[in-house]
Structures are given as structure tokens and as C-alpha cells.
Structure 1
Amino acid sequence: MQIITANLNGIRAAAKKGFFTWLAQQNADVVCIQETKAQESQLIDPIFHPGGYHCYYHDAEKKGYSGVALYARQKPEKVIKGIGWSEIDSEGRYLEARFGSVNIVSLYMHSGSSGVERQTLKFDFMDKFMPYLRELQQGSKDYIICGDWNIAHKAIDLKNWRSNQKRSGFLPEERAWMDELFGPAGFVDAFRVVNQEAEQYTWWSNRGRAWDNNTGWRLDYQVITPGLKDKVLGASIYKDERFSDHAPLLIDYAL
């Protein structure tokens, strides 16, 4: 099974840059998309409902903002739009599809880079989300939580880590939260199961020549329950084309 996760920073803009042409050439079983920045009513063109997939969207109430999507070749047993928290669901940040013993989530974590208020909302979400994740861990189903988590976990996960320690996405509190996620909470960073190399980034600032110089951050993850750790076969970051300021993350599982 191949799963792709991609923050498109506007699904309509990414379509114009060739994302769906590229997707049609892949062998993905599930595709998780973040930052659609569109209402489903604006996505009536067949390109946004690619052939062979069951397509689901969870929009933000605010037009042109946030939003997640999930495409699946196999029809899910159940699709859950939202996590049940109004402040999160109004921004379209969580979409879950359930398939037998494995549930897959498209997640768009807050960015705190625009100011103190948004960083506070991000911390509030993190405080609520960790107990929620621990509950998932106690259940009988395995989870693959795909998406833009907006945190670079370790120094290896961004180019200029020394100068970014006071910047949202690499704050000490955020990194400690990821330590808990991949430590006591028991989840696994699927990418790092098969790739321990440096300079494996999924996001680049549009400022300067960040893309050209590979001055990036690894913000996009597929976070899995430990029962799936031995099922990870391979992982790659697609950078031959640019569909947004993020790059698609592809992971193959023996499922």
C-alpha cells in the first residue's frame, strides 16, 4: 500500500501546477491533502475527483483557508469529518477514514508563525491532542496520521536549526511535544524508520533562494502506531516538480 501526504497550499493552484497529472502517474492507495483553501462547492471540476478514488473533503468555514482532503481507492467503512472540537473543526483540520484494522487521518496542524495568538492556539491544540493520541494508542486499531504537523522534530530536520530555535515550528516546547509523541506516547515517525539521512526536507520558504539551496524544514509526517513499524517498506520525498511550498511525502507499507 502506498500513501501520499501533501500540503498543497491551495488545491486549485496546485492543480494548475500539475499536481493531479503527477498523481495520476502514481500508484497511491490513499492520498492525504492539507491546505485545500477551497470550499467543496468550488471543486466541481472532475480534476478534483480523480478517477479510481473515493474523494472526501473537510472544509474550513472561512473561505480560502485551511481545509483537508482524503482520496482512497478502497471505499472506507466510515469517514469522520472533524475531531469533535469546534475550534478545530471550524478550520477544517482533521479528516479520518476507517478501513478494517487501519485508520488513516489527514491532519493539518496549526502554524504559529503569524503571531502570538496563533501560536497560543497551536499550543492549546497540542495540549488537547496528546491525550487524544494516547487514547488512540490504547485502541485495537492501527493509525496512520498523515499531514503537515508544522513542527521540525530534531536539528536534523531543518537546515538552519541554530538560528531557528525561537521560531514557531522549532520551539523547545514543540520539540519536547514531539519527543513525547515518539517516546512515551508510543507513536513512530514512519519516514525515519527507513531514512535516517540529513537534509530530508518537505517545506521551503518562498523567501530568498531556500528551494534552490535546499534550506528547508521537515514538517510533513506519516505518524504511525507501533504495530505498523515493521510494515514500512520505503519512503521518498518528491521534488522533481513543485506543486506548492511543500513536497509530497510518499511511503510504502506492507498492508
Structure 2
Amino acid sequence: MKIISWNVNGIRACYKKGLMDFLNTEKPDIFCVQETKAHIDQVETETRTLRWEHSYWSSAQRKGYSGVATFLHTPPANVQYHFNDIPDYESEGRIVMTDHGMFDLYNIYFPNGGSGVERHNFKQQFLKDLNVHLKEKLQSGRQVVVVGDYNVAHENIDVFDPIKLSKESGFLPEERVWFDQFLELGFIDTFRYFKPTEAKRYSWWDMRTFGRIANRGWRIDYVCISKGLEKYLSSADILEQVEGSDHCPVVATFAF
């Protein structure tokens, strides 16, 4: 099974930039996107499904903002669009959770906290609430895959300038501590599992500063799995060569 996650920075724009060519080449079994920036009724028919049998969208109440979607060939046993019954997270279109029998898949667009104190606090609360929820989920015996744009870089090698960026949202000390705690719950960062020390491998670049040209980037997009799935994990990578967004796709494959 191949799972690909990609912050497409607007699904309609990415579609026009060759999204279907990418999918026809990679042929993922599950495709998760973040930042769709659209309601399903705003997009063309093919974009709604991307030729998958099943698609599940969670869109923000605010038009042109946030949004996630999960595309599947096999229908899940259950679908949810929030955790812990917190309506603010669903109203911002941040989560699609699908039950695949062997595991629950969380497709999440984590909040960005860089626009001010209010959004910073919202993000920090989201991170805390998510860890509480995931701890309970793991304690119940479920295996979990968490994919998406985490909007948090974990280690020094995950950003192009760790000293300068240590005061920026997404690489703040408390956010890095959160990531430590997330992994301590029993999660594996699949990319680091195979490439524990590889540097200058990023998944997002600031378009305003032409960061991609100089590879001045951040690794903030992940496929993380609970440890019970480790024995099935075959590979994981970052597809930096793929364009169409300010992010690139991340991928993990499993031998289920």
C-alpha cells in the first residue's frame, strides 16, 4: 500500500499544474491533500474525485481557506471530521479521519500560528488536544497513521537555518517539545526511520523569498505511524522534484 500526502496550496490551482499526471505516475492507494482552499461544490467533477472511487472532504466555513480531502479506492468503515467534539477544528476544515480496519488514518492540516497571538494560542491548544486524543486512541489498542502538513519542523536538520528560525512559528521550542511528546506516545516519523541524519531534505519552501531555488526550506509534512505498524513499513521519502505547490508530496509504503 502506498500513501501519499500533499499540501497542494489550492486543489484547483494544483490540478491545472499537472496533478493528474503526478497521480497517474505515482499511483498511490490512498491520497491525502491539505489546503484544498475549496468546497467540493466549487470544483469541477473530476477534481472532486481525482478518479478515485471514494473521496471525503472537510472544508472550512470560510471560503478559500484551509480544507483537507482523502481519496480512496476502498470505502472506509467509518469517517469523522473532528476529534474530541471540538467544533472549531471541524469548522476550519482541518481533519478527515478514516477507519481502514488495520489502522485509523488521520489526514490533518495543522494550524499555522504565525499571524499573531490568537492563532499561536489556537495552534498550541490544537497540538495539546491532538496528543490527548491520540494517547487515548493508542491506549484503546488501535493503530494510527497521521499524515499531513504539521506546520512544525522537529529537528535542527529539518530547517535551513535552525538558529534564525528558532523564534518563528513552526520551529518554536514549545512546538519542538510537542513533537517529542507526540513521538513518545508511540509514533514513528517514517522519513527519519529510514534517513535519521539526512539533512537538506525539505517539504516546504517560501515562495516569497524564492526558497525552493536555493533549497532554503522546512520539513513540515509527515507520514507518522504508531509502532504497531512498524513491521509493515517498507519505505518513506520526500518527493522534492514534484512541483505544483509551495509544498511537495511525502510518501510511505507498506507491505500489508
What is the TM-score of this pair, normalised by structure 1?
0.96
Query: Which SS does the other structure have where 2:212 is aligned?
Result: coil
Aligned to 2:19: 19
Aligned to 1:96: 97
8 Å CA contact retained: 1:231, 1:253: yes
The one-letter code sitting in structure 2 at the alignment partner of 1:90 is: S
Aligned to 1:109: 110
Moved more, 167-176 or 224-233: 224-233
The one-letter code sitting in structure 2 at the alignment partner of 1:51 is: R
More helix by share: 2
Q: Aligned equivalents of 2:30 and 2:200: distance in 1?
A: 26
Aligned to 1:5: 5
The one-letter code sitting in structure 2 at the alignment partner of 1:168 is: S
Q: Aligned equivalents of 2:81 and 2:23: distance in 1?
A: 23
Aligned to 1:81: 81
Q: Aligned equivalents of 1:121 and 1:56: distance in 2?
A: 25
1:91-240 pair list within 5 angstroms: 91-183=92-184, 185-196=185-196, 197-240=198-241
**What are structure 2's unaligned runs of at least 5 residues?**
none
The one-letter code sitting in structure 1 at the alignment partner of 2:91 is: S
**What are structure 1's unaligned runs of at least 5 residues?**
none
Q: Aligned equivalents of 1:105 and 1:73: distance in 2?
A: 17
Give the CA RMSD over aligned residues. Answer: 1.2
Query: Which SS does the other structure have where 1:36 is aligned?
Result: coil
Q: Aligned equivalents of 2:152 and 2:45: distance in 1?
A: 33
What is the TM-score of this pair, normalised by structure 2?
0.95
Shift of 1:139: 2.0
Shift of 1:45: 2.3
Shift of 1:157: 0.6
Return structure 1 stretches of 4+ with deviation > 6 angstroms: none
Aligned residues: 254
Q: Aligned equivalents of 2:52 and 2:186: distance in 1?
A: 34
